[in-house]
Structure 1
Amino acid sequence: MSLIPNSWYWKQLKLALTCFLCCLPIAFFFLINFYLTLVILILWSLIIIKNAYFNPITLNILYTRFSFELLLESPDLLSQFRPLGLDLFKTQLHDYSISFHEHEKKKFQKELTYLRSFKNKKLSPDQRQSYDILEYYLNINLNRELSNEFDYHNYLINQKSGPQFDIISFIIKFHRILKLNDAEAYLIRVQRISKAFDQLIEQQIERRHRNIETPRFVLQRVIDGLEAFHKQLRDEPNKSPLIITFIDKLNDRICSKEKQNELINRLLNIIKINVIPAYDRLLNILHEDLSNVKTDHGLWKLPNGDKYYKLCLEYHTTTNMSPDEIHELGKTHVERIQNEMRK
């Protein structure tokens, strides 16, 4: 199982760590008098709480806190990078819920406000560069995917890098099984595919309400991919990557053959009871969208689509060039390359 109980989330971990750090001065009680210890405890607690929850004292603490929280909110990143060799949330999957999306917006807005409080302070060249990078990152996200105007303009479910495929790929590629509780965590993660897919359905329905239609060709390719994987899970589960990968990662050093067979049977049961119905629910929603979607694809049809298109160009090119300028630049370079090839 996870080293941290499943009911814990990053907020509880942050609170626990803050309380622990605040209580450290109590150790001084055994070395010096009570009143001095009390003063140290109060001052130390104020410093810790300020740095943990409010505008930190230094810019470096802000960077560290932001990175720390970003990591704790991303079970997939924790499993990939395993800081200090730990995978604290190895039973968890990324949160795709609307409530978490709203939480991210508030967090980015707060961190940008805190960051800009250092703007006019004396910074070293390295600090100034780090400041500019983080400000750009926060600002471009708040103007695009985390803005009230465009937060649902992106097609979360898509054929290229949609979470409906990435979740499976992540579990297969990055979930390590080195001991028995890692194998148990794998089963829990697979079981939580159901919850993750329900969150994707929630996101897709929200886009319906906002008249954000996923293009027909995107929906069709997503459905084709999901149906192929769904068919394999239903008809030949033993050939599914979820099962094959799990079997490959198990060995006699982890547990006995009998225990391995028990784990495999439990995984097959989880797929039957939890995962396959989740695919059914998601496919039903996508088929409904496919039956109603129009063929006039393009960002131009979305509310303020032209503005969103410019923001996407800025995000992907890191320039402030207009769409026409980028198009002309591309034509110029194509002509130059073709002329060089003809020589």
Structure 2
Amino acid sequence: MYYKPMSLNLLYIRFVLEYLLERPDLLSQLRPLGLDLFNTHLQDFSVKFDERQRRKTKRQLAYLRSFENSNMSSSQRLSYNVLEYFTNESLNRQLSETFFCHHYLINQLFGAQTEIIALLTKYHRIKNIKEAEAYLLRVQRISLAFDQLIEQQKKRRENGIETPRFVLERVVNDLKIFRDQLSTEPNQSPLVFTFVDKLKENNLPLDKRSSLITRLLTVIKTFVIPAYARLITMLENELSRSTTDHGVYQLPSGDIYYRLCLQFHTTTDMTPDEIHQLGLTQVDKIQKQIKTNVIKELEKDPIHQYNKHDVENSRKQILDD
């Protein structure tokens, strides 16, 4: 049963705790109170997790709004307004039943497939045998995480969401490089050499180190390399059917989604055309100011010559390049 807290501050605390306890990757980065909580787990990327998040966030928003008419200080009112805005925005966009597939979970910049490796190599602490054992379990769970990513990609395809070709090309290439290194030179892989370095840095017993490294290589061969193969195969299949018709406009209800994204990133209700026109107006204004100031400076120094025709040609050349 989800009971309403007695105060707004307690509700905020519960929201934060619920968020953290469902994100072991973030817990490993923050280490609240110096604790490594859930350090044997990876982030849940399953579709069911997204569905649970949607239901929970709706419930949280309802509880939050139940405090709307309560007495608040100015700082509390500000916190309330900010949290209410972002929670509602989240439900309207990335957690909505219509748009929760519209972002690319697998991508070439900050995709889930690379964030998993970053968590293991950068943030997983190894100060003792127990934390080293936790690392092995996390590496093994790459297999489950990649299967969840495959599930997410299939869900997106069912909803008419096509990952852009250029994204797939980059991701597949990067995955193959990482997979091949694990297969042929595992000791050169970040998954292995960062583990070895952390074991050495903390002076763990040599015999224990050797055993842990051997077990890690076995886990990689048994679970990780096959997981990479499955993900690569699925993405290559998508790549063979992908097009170069990229852009939000080609997504289902893309125009509505685009407006929601603009609303979130600009905190205004301006239309796309209005924002575009505002940009053009500001660029024109800035260019006029620059030209005016340049002419003034050149007039002060007769050695320099100002030729408007040359400036326009140079501008065109820069834009063409």
Same fold (TM over 0.5): yes
Q: Secondary structure at the match of 2:137?
A: helix
Work out which of the two has the higher radius of gyration on C-alpha atoms and give 1 or 2.
2
Do residues 127 (structure 1) and 127 (structure 2) align? no
Q: Supply the AA of the counterpart residue of 2:232.
A: L
Do residues 277 (structure 1) and 203 (structure 2) align? no
Structural mapping, 1:195-206, within 5 Å: 195-206=144-155
CA shift at 1:329, angstroms?
2.1
Structure 1 gaps, min length 5: 1-48
Do residues 136 (structure 1) and 90 (structure 2) align? no
**Conservation of the 8 A alpha-carbon contact between 1:109 and 1:142:** yes
1:209: which partner in 2?
Answer: 158
CA shift at 1:55, angstroms?
1.9
Match of 2:15 among 61, 66, 72: 66
CA shift at 1:340, angstroms?
4.1
Between the aligned partners of 1:191 and 1:223, the Cα distance in structure 2 is: 21
Between the aligned partners of 1:253 and 1:201, the Cα distance in structure 2 is: 37
CA shift at 1:218, angstroms?
1.0
Structural mapping, 1:177-326, within 5 Å: 177-251=126-200, 253-326=202-275
Q: Supply the AA of the counterpart residue of 1:274.
A: F
Paired positions, count:
292
Q: Secondary structure at the match of 2:200?
A: coil
CA shift at 1:341, angstroms?
3.8
CA shift at 1:103, angstroms?
0.4
Q: TM-score, normalised by structure 1?
A: 0.82
Match of 1:173 among 122, 137, 140: 122
Between the aligned partners of 1:209 and 1:110, the Cα distance in structure 2 is: 28
Between the aligned partners of 2:262 and 2:202, the Cα distance in structure 1 is: 51
1:187-227 superposed Cα distances (whole Å, 9 cap, x missing partner): 11111111100000000011111111111111111111111
CA shift at 1:126, angstroms?
0.9
**Conservation of the 8 A alpha-carbon contact between 1:180 and 1:254:** no
1:162: which partner in 2?
Answer: 111
Q: Secondary structure at the match of 1:250?
A: helix
CA shift at 1:312, angstroms?
1.1
**Conservation of the 8 A alpha-carbon contact between 1:214 and 1:293:** yes
Between the aligned partners of 2:201 and 2:97, the Cα distance in structure 1 is: 53
Q: Secondary structure at the match of 1:251?
A: helix
Between the aligned partners of 2:201 and 2:178, the Cα distance in structure 1 is: 30
Q: TM-score, normalised by structure 2?
A: 0.88
CA shift at 1:158, angstroms?
1.0
The 1:232–1:339 alpha-carbon spacing in structure 2 relative to 1, beyond 3 Å, is: farther
Q: Supply the AA of the counterpart residue of 1:276.
A: I
Between the aligned partners of 1:275 and 1:282, the Cα distance in structure 2 is: 11
Q: Supply the AA of the counterpart residue of 1:333.
A: Q
Between the aligned partners of 1:70 and 1:230, the Cα distance in structure 2 is: 32
Between the aligned partners of 1:274 and 1:333, the Cα distance in structure 2 is: 54
